[in-house]
Structure 1
Amino acid sequence: MLLALLGAFLHYSLPQYDVVRIVNTYEKRQDLDDWTRIFWADPDEQSRRLVNRDVQFIQAVRPDGRTIVYRNEDTGWGWPPYFKFDTANLYTEASDLVSTKADPKWVAIMHFGWRNIFLSIFPNAISITPVEGPEDKPFNWFTSVFLVGMALFAGYVYLRWRRFRRNRLDPVLEGVEEGLNAASGAISARRSRLQAWLDTWKAKK
């Protein structure tokens, strides 16, 4: 369960790339439900009090024809730490890269977050980079290096824990176990002597 929660957290927070064709950009008043507010940017104190606000969106189409919609919000100094403050610039770039199916302009959109039509949540676009074609997807260096580093760190912690347990905990636990066994043996011996003494009284009766 813990690993599943960690995996979901990393999948939501780490950057991902989509190669898409931008078809439209627009701005819409978006209601912020109490329990889905965590999926929207919270860059300032004012946004914490608002129940709705204007949000910029980027509509796009994947190479296989499936549609995807991104939100375009500043992350500010909040989590995840992308320090995005250029929402207006990114919106202008997206608008300039709008293309048609007959004359497509393919772009790689780096984003984080999930798209869920039932909860009305959208991934947040971080950057837009023109690419040569629909197969020209950038390699996700940051996510790859981060996951490898986290795996190495987890392996290091595990090895240190095994060494600590072998050198420090196991001897203590073995000593406790030996003490318990000795105490158990002594109790059994006393019980046997007591039983033998009681048996002598039974014999006299």
Structure 2
Amino acid sequence: MRVLRIALWVLVALFAVAFVGFLNYYLPSTEVVRVTGTDVKRMDAKKVDPAGVERTRDVRFISAMAFDGDQPITFRNEDTGWGFPFYFKFDSGDVTTRVQNILASDPQAHVAVTYYGWRVEIFDLYPNAVSLYRVDADYTPIPYTTILVLLLLAALAIFLFLRIRRWRASRY
């Protein structure tokens, strides 16, 4: 019985770590950067369409430098469309135009980039920029969406905990 309880706690811990990783990847983050350029690359898709032709796509990238440590940051700039994650982003061309306009008017401008995802160099993964806008030098982003989602999840967890506790008390 003790081994079963330990195995259950290990599974719960693994699920919790996976869930926190899922939230960390898909919830929006904001970084204040100095934009340095844009790029378009042709990417080969791993999928083959029903006619047997390999699909390719153009992917836009935004290159930037972090103000706090002069570390390069590259963002992918792709539409999410109607699919998951539900950011409903259809304006990657407009985001690229905004970047180019900021570069033309003030190359040293502070820009807040809202994105989701991680940069994993070994797998060639880039965070996807959802939006960007020019900000003041003393701007500090507040993650309202992340706070709201975490509060809702905490309320759901408390509700489920109380319901399970009430159900277990009524059984005995």
TM-score range, shorter chain: 0.7 to 0.9
CA contact (8 A) 1:21 1:106 kept: yes
Structure 2 unaligned residues grouped into runs of 5+: 1-13
Partner of 2:148: 145
For the residues of structure 2 that align with 1:129 and 1:140, how far apart are their CA atoms?
A: 15
Distance 1:20 1:60 in 2: 6
Secondary structure in 2 matching 1:98: helix
Structure with more helix by fraction: 1
Matched to 2:98, the amino acid is E
Q: Distance in 2 between matches of 1:88 and 1:6?
A: 32
The aligned amino acid for 2:75 is: Y
Q: Deviations over 1:45-80 (max 9, x none)?
A: 89xx75532110000000110110001111001111
Corresponding residue number in structure 1 for 2:10: none
Matches of 2:54 and 2:46 in 1, distance apart?
A: 10
Alpha-carbon shift at residue 24 of structure 1 (Å): 0.6
Structure 1 residue 31: Cα displacement: 3.2
Distance 1:33 1:70 in 2: 21
CA contact (8 A) 2:112 2:135 kept: yes
Superposition misfits of 4+ residues, deviation over 3 angstroms: 31-34, 49-52
Is the CA contact (8 Å cut-off) linking 1:21 and 1:98 kept in structure 2? no
* Cα separation, 2, equivalents of 1:28 and 1:92: 16
Specify the code of the residue in structure 2 equivalent to 1:150.
Answer: L
Separation (CA, whole Å) in 1 of partners of 2:107 and 2:92: 26
* Code of the aligned partner of 2:160: V
CA distance in 2, matches of 1:139, 1:50: 42
Q: Provide the aligned length of Structure 1 versus Structure 2.
A: 155
* Alignment partner, residue 83 of structure 2: 78
Alignment of 1:154 onto 2:167? no
Q: How does 1:108-123 map to 2 (within 5 A)?
A: 108-123=112-127
1:9 aligns with 2:14: no
Q: 1:70 to 1:50 in 2, by over 3 A?
A: farther
Cα deviation, 1:8-45, whole Å, max 9, x if unaligned, reads: 111111100000010010101123457xxxxxxxxxx8
Q: Do the aligned partners of residues 166 and 8 (structure 1) sit closer, same or farther apart at CA in structure 2, a change above 3 Å counting?
A: same
- Residue matched to 1:95: 100
2:44 partner amino acid? D
> Given the two structures, how large is their TM-score scaled by the length of structure 2?
0.83
Deviation of the 1:98 alpha carbon = 2.1
CA RMSD of aligned residues (A): 2.2
Structure with greater strand share of residues: 2
Alignment partner of 1:19 is 2:47: no
